[in-house]
Amino acid sequence: MVSTESLTTYLSEVILSHLALSCALLLAALALVRRFIRESYRIDGLRQKHVFITGCDSGFGNLLARQLDEKGIQVIAACLTEKGAADLTAAASSRMKTLLLDVTDSASIRRAVEFVSKEVGERGLWGLVNNAGRSIPIGPTEWMQIEDFTKVLDVNLNGVIDVTLQFLPLLKKAQGRVVNVASIFGRLSLTGGGYCLSKWGVEAFSDSLRLDMKQFGVKVSMIEPGFFKTAVTQRDLIEADLKRLWTRLPQDVKDSYGATFLDEYLKAQDFSLGILCSPDLSKVTRCMQHALTAQFPRIRYSAGWDAKLFWIPLSYMPSFVSDFVVSVLLPSPKDERKIK
């Protein structure tokens, strides 16, 4: 027989646990509602504000420039090529200004700063979007040479740092925004080469910049996209570069991976890029727009279902879990020397 006292105690514990759970759920719901309301507030006077965007030949930068232009914001779009600048000018209003910029060239950045300074005047620069980037060379670390790392780091990390430092005086004058395009691979390294390294670096640089600029009223946000169909994920370019890396390897290194490794690696890349890449670039540009126009922008924005539901949760798991997932996605070397 269960005593009345024991039953009363049990029921009390059940009721208290349900109350605690209900209170926790209520508080979580209120927090979400508060966040939604807080993030819905927008700044005023957008049509008088200038935004400078790098990497506007195609992809996220190109779409963002056109979207902001449609909203009446004063956009200054930096392209790497004359064709990219001409095509964007033809697709936008007369408000938009374009210029050529190589983010790996400090002199090119200085010329861009001079141009932007004349455009913004005493108002300063409201928004800087560091969007320019590249992915290749990318692949197994042993296949790389130091210049392969440098090619990517110079654009994705050093370029972001140089552009930001040179534009900071204009941003401080406007108490504006810095929006840096990182990646979910700024949280989780999937492969070798400079891409993951550079994006981890962008995250660290953005965090330190955010803390340093807080007292000056400059806000810093990071965009962490998953896989999207842009030039960075263009399969034919990635596959061609992987074949180039493989071709120059010494024969003993090739033997250590096995004769079929390259084909298996290319198939894995093709599968991942084909399945995961989203064609809807607006999922990323919406995050960029919010970071530029919200009174209370987020520090980090994840974009894409794969980032939200797979990569970012995976980045919080123990390393042995993420290592296992990567080992499933990518082939393992088959050392032919041992077989012989």
Active-site residue list: 195
- Please give the Cα distance from 308 to 316 (Å, whole number): 12
Residue 306 is which amino acid? D
Which of 9, 86, 73 has its CA nearest to residue 43?
A: 73
Q: Tell me the H-state helices in the chain.
A: 4-40, 59-70, 82-91, 106-120, 146-153, 159-174, 194-213, 235-247, 251-257, 261-276, 282-293, 305-306, 312-315, 319-329, 336-339
Q: Which long-range contacts (CB under 8 A, 24 or more apart) does 161-166 make?
A: 161/205, 162/103, 162/106, 162/109, 163/54, 163/103, 163/109, 163/112, 163/128, 163/130, 164/128, 164/130, 164/205, 164/209, 166/106, 166/109, 166/110, 166/113
Q: 3-state class of 192 per DSSP?
A: strand
Residues in the chain: 340
Q: At what angle do helices 59-70 and 282-293 cross, to 10 degrees?
A: 50
Q: What are residue 74's DSSP bridge partners?
A: 50
170 neighbors 125 (Cβ within 8 angstroms):
yes
How far does Cα 191 stand from its chain's mean position?
Answer: 16
Q: 3-state class of 44 per DSSP?
A: coil
Instruction: Concatenate the DSSP letters of all residues of 210-226 into one string.
Output: HHHHGGGT-EEEEEEE-
